[in-house]
Amino acid sequence: MDVLEKARARRTAARAAAERAALDWQDAVVESIDQLVDQLQIAGVNRLASFEAAVRPALDGEAWEEREDLVAASFASDAGVVHFTPSDDERWAIAVELWDDLRSALSRIHGTDVPAGLVVDLDARVAVGYEPLYCPDVGIEADLILHLVRADSDEPFASLLLELPDPDAAMDRVNDLLDRYGLEPPTKPEHEPGECDLGLGEDED
């Protein structure tokens, strides 16, 4: 094996290790969400976690310095629903950490920005991303739907399994669970209906 082949083999091994590490990070977050649900005494089936964020303007008004902050978190199962909003409660701080870690891990795994609004179907291992604001003239639409592949999968190329085999069915299940628990998708209207800056619905000249 020449020098270039050795370098290629090392690079391939390093990439596989990095992918597995990111999946381990993701699994650790999901496990922590599971544990939090148990502590909230709502352990059961059809478990769901919802994280809602808001876009905060920069202090100096510069758009590129806007930030996204978690403003609400809900955890649900067939045993009940628990809501959290910003407070000094330790569990709120944990919710913020889980939200931040999950977005970061998913971004690393999938190589894409993950929207700030997240709904996690824990039993089906599906995460759905929503931008904090949506156009009411278009309606609420998920921006990203991701499969939470397990790090301990026997599949040597786990990254090939990241695409959901039936995303429509996964999305239908998430919507059904949101309705069942009386939860709205974690996104808010950006403006009043009919005031879209894109001119949707207007007649063309």
Percent of the chain with pLDDT over 90: 52
pLDDT tens-place string over residues 176-196: 999 999 999 999 988 777 777
Phi-psi region of 169 (alpha: psi -120 to 50; beta: other; left: phi over 0): alpha
- The arithmetic mean of pLDDT across residues 44-64, rounded, is 80
pLDDT tens-place string over residues 109-165: 888 899 999 999 999 999 999 999 988 888 889 999 998 888 776 554 455 556 777
- Buried b / exposed e over 100-138, threshold 16 CB at 10 Å, is ebbbebbebbbeeebbbbbbbbbebbbbbbbbbebbbbe
pLDDT at 32 over 80: yes
Give pTM, 2 decimals: 0.84
Q: What is the pLDDT of residue 46?
A: 94
Q: What is the pLDDT of residue 203?
A: 46
Comparing 21-25, 69-73, 78-82, the range with the smallest average pLDDT is 21-25
- Asked if 121 and 173 count as a contact pair (C-beta separation under 8 A), the reply is yes
